[in-house]
């Protein structure tokens, strides 16, 4: 991209009038609106990781699971000491995905109250309890009345 924009060749280097960061800013902020390919690639890799989560039966997902997170979920998977490029690339994008991902409550059976990000707020992923004797295995389903599918207000309070 830089060679095209500034016209540089192997024998001749031309002056770069603007920094790459300035060129990547939106046009509304005075930039040229170029995509920052590193950021774009990072988001694409997080999308690949999301595909591994939502479609675990794809062949590549089954292979990666057998190799890197056989007895865990993809969230608990480790990088390993010598990972393949196919695993290392999406794994490096995991923090980006974990910052944005939230559980959809549904019946709440699979969601741990204390350790899972299930609240819609950006500031607080999970619940912190003032009660030090809180049950660590408590599920969100414990706060939902199964007959009416409504929150048990007295428990929530």
What is the residue range of 77's domain?
A: 37-100
SS3 44: helix
Q: Tell me: do 109 and 78 sit in the same domain.
A: no
The pLDDT mean for the chain works out to: 80
C-alpha distances out from residue 105 to 41, 79, 96, 100, 118, Å: 30, 29, 21, 16, 7
Domain boundary among 100, 119, 146: 100
Q: Which residues contact 102 (CB under 8 A, 6 or more apart)?
A: 117, 118, 119, 120, 125
Q: Read off the pLDDT of residues 12-45 as tens digits, 9 standing for 90 and up.
A: 777 777 777 888 888 898 888 877 778 888 888 8
Q: Tell me: do 109 and 96 sit in the same domain.
A: no
Q: Tell me: do 24 and 59 sit in the same domain.
A: no
Q: Tell me: do 107 and 145 sit in the same domain.
A: yes
Q: Tell me: do 156 and 113 sit in the same domain.
A: yes
Name the domain count of the chain.
3
C-alpha distances out from residue 44 to 25, 89, 93, Å: 19, 10, 9
Q: Read off the pLDDT of residues 109-126 as tens digits, 9 standing for 90 and up.
A: 888 887 777 777 666 656
Q: Read off the pLDDT of residues 59-111 as tens digits, 9 standing for 90 and up.
A: 988 888 888 888 877 777 877 788 888 888 888 888 888 777 777 888 888 88
CA dihedral over 135, 140, 145, 150, signed as positive or negative: positive
pLDDT of residue 130: 59
Helix (H) or strand (E) holding 150: strand 150-151
């Amino acid at each position: 991209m830089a060679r095209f924009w500034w016209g540089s060749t192997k024998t001749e280097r031309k002056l770069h009038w603007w920094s790459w960061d300035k060129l990547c800013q939106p046009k509304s902020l005075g930039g040229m609106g170029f995509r920052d390919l590193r950021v774009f690639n990072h988001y694409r890799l997080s999308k690949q990781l999301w595909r591994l989560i939502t479609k675990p039966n794809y062949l590549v997902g089954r292979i990666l699971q057998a190799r890197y997170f056989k007895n865990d979920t993809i969230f608990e998977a480790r990088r390993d000491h010598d990972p393949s490029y196919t695993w290392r690339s999406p794994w490096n994008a995991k923090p980006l995905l974990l910052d944005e991902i939230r559980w959809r409550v549904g019946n709440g059976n699979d969601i741990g109250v204390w350790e899972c990000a299930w609240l819609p707020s950006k500031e607080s992923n999970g619940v912190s309890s003032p009660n030090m004797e809180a049950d660590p295995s408590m599920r969100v389903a414990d706060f939902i009345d199964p007959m009416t599918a409504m929150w048990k207000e007295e428990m929530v309070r």
